[in-house]
Amino acid sequence: MTDRNKVAASQDLAHRRAARRPGLVHEVLPPEGVPIRLEIAGLGARVGAQITDLLVSGLAMIAALVLLALTGAGEATVAVGALLFFAIRTPYYIASELLWNGQTLGKRMNGLRVVAADGRGLTAHAVVVRNLMKEVEVFTPGTWLLVGGGDLWSSLLVLTWIAVLVAVARGNRRRQRIGDMIAGTLVIRQPQAALLPDLTAGRAPVSDRFVFDAGQLDHYGRYELQTLEQVLQTESRGSAGTAGQRRANLEAIARTIRGKIGYRDALSDSDAPAFLRAFYAAQRAYLERRQLFGETREDKFHRDDAG
């Protein structure tokens, strides 16, 4: 492979990796001194949560009013309705985000959460600010979109305002709307922790059947190792594709790896999963040992070695 090809390939890889990354990441440094990575929520999910909130609070209000009307409260229904209509706007969001640690009902259902950008706890002030601004940023244009009307100029004004809001939220790395910026908050995806099994800690050690020497383990890096791990995890959980597809996939991978590392022993296709597991264990042991000595290897292009 020529140098130019190598550079092009590595750039291509970087592109694909960026595309694979699930979302933007916000790093906070809590007092414990270990940076914690939080995944920033996309605007689509946030709009979804907002709509859920509107539906839930609207339905709750209507239910309460119907109950009141049925009990024959008469004129009081109107007053209570007015109060409720007032309460399901800003006060509902302030109270719920404050009491439920940055989650409204809609955010809870959509797995979102508001956090302070500086890594400290959410303050009452921040919650109040971001939800007061919601009145101007969400409810006013939202009402206009639903009801419509108004003359040409006010329509243009509102549309410009909406364009500005979207541009601001899209345009910054933390996906903050204006209220978030003033309050110093951002919306993250609630982290989901699921511990998958350790592939090297399986039943009996399979390393006796397949033996790899240092030269054979010197080809791949962290990226390839973790990609292989992902494939094997999918295989053991049986989550993607049909069994036949996964099987063919594993066999193809095993063939490629054999070719690349120059593994000479005979290998039947039925051995592919065992071979890959053994290779994974050996490769990880090799790379982790190297990493302990400060030699990290990012991928098969060995860019970390050169630099």
Partner 1 sequence: MSVDITAAADSELLRSTRFRRAREADWRRLEAILAVAERRGVRALDFEQARDLATLYRQACTALSVAREISLDRALLDYLEALTARAYLAVYAPQETLAGVLGRFLATAPAAVRRSAGHVALAALAMALGALAGALLYGEDASWFRVFVPGGLGGGRGPASTTAELLEVIYGGAEQPVGRLGAFAAYLFSHNTQIALFSFALGVFLCLPSFLLCLYNGLILGAFVALHAERGIAWDLFGWLSIHGVTELAAIVVATGGGFRLGAAVLFPGRLTRRDALRRHGRDAVKLGLVAACMLVAAALIEGFARQLVTDTTARLAIGWGIGGLWLAWFALGGRGTPTSVKSQ
Q: Choose between 132 and 248: whose C-beta lies nearer to partner 1.
A: 132
> Is residue 106 within 8 Å of 59, Cβ to Cβ?
no
Task: State which of positions 164-183 bind partner 1 (CB under 8 A).
Answer: 178, 181-183
Task: State which of positions 177-236 bind partner 1 (CB under 8 A).
Answer: 178, 181-184, 190-201, 203, 205, 222, 225-226, 229-230, 233
Q: Is 30 in the site for partner 1 (CB under 8 A)?
A: yes
Residue 300 tokens, joined: 């098969």
Instruction: Compute the chain's Rg from CA coordinates.
Output: 28
Task: State which of positions 237-266 bind partner 1 (CB under 8 A).
Answer: none
| Among candidate residues 241, 226, 222, 223, the one with its CA nearest the CA of residue 196 | 226
Q: Choose between 36 and 51: whose C-beta lies nearer to partner 1.
A: 36
| Among candidate residues 257, 113, 269, the one with its CA nearest the CA of residue 191 | 113
Q: Which of 28, 45, 88, 105 binds partner 1 (CB under 8 A)?
A: 28
190: phi then psi, degrees, rounded to nearest 5: -65, 120
Task: State which of positions 38-57 bind partner 1 (CB under 8 A).
Answer: 38
> Is residue 253 within 8 Å of 231, Cβ to Cβ?
yes
Distance CA 70, CA 64 (A): 10
Q: Is 76 in the site for partner 1 (CB under 8 A)?
A: yes
Q: Is 17 in the site for partner 1 (CB under 8 A)?
A: no
Q: Choose between 220 and 263: whose C-beta lies nearer to partner 1.
A: 220
Distance CA 263, CA 258 (A): 5
Q: Choose between 250 and 287: whose C-beta lies nearer to partner 1.
A: 287
Q: Is 12 in the site for partner 1 (CB under 8 A)?
A: no
Distance CA 301, CA 9 (A): 9
Q: Choose between 42 and 111: whose C-beta lies nearer to partner 1.
A: 111
Residue-by-residue DSSP string for 295-307: ----STT-HHHH-
Distance CA 134, CA 94 (A): 10
Min. distance of Cβ 297 from partner 1 in angstroms?
A: 10
The site for partner 1 (CB under 8 A) is made up of 28, 30, 32-34, 36-38, 75-76, 78-79, 81-83, 85-86, 95, 98-102, 113, 115, 120-125, 127-129, 132-133, 135-136, 178, 181-184, 190-201, 203, 205, 222, 225-226, 229-230, 233, 281, 284-285, 287-288, 291-292
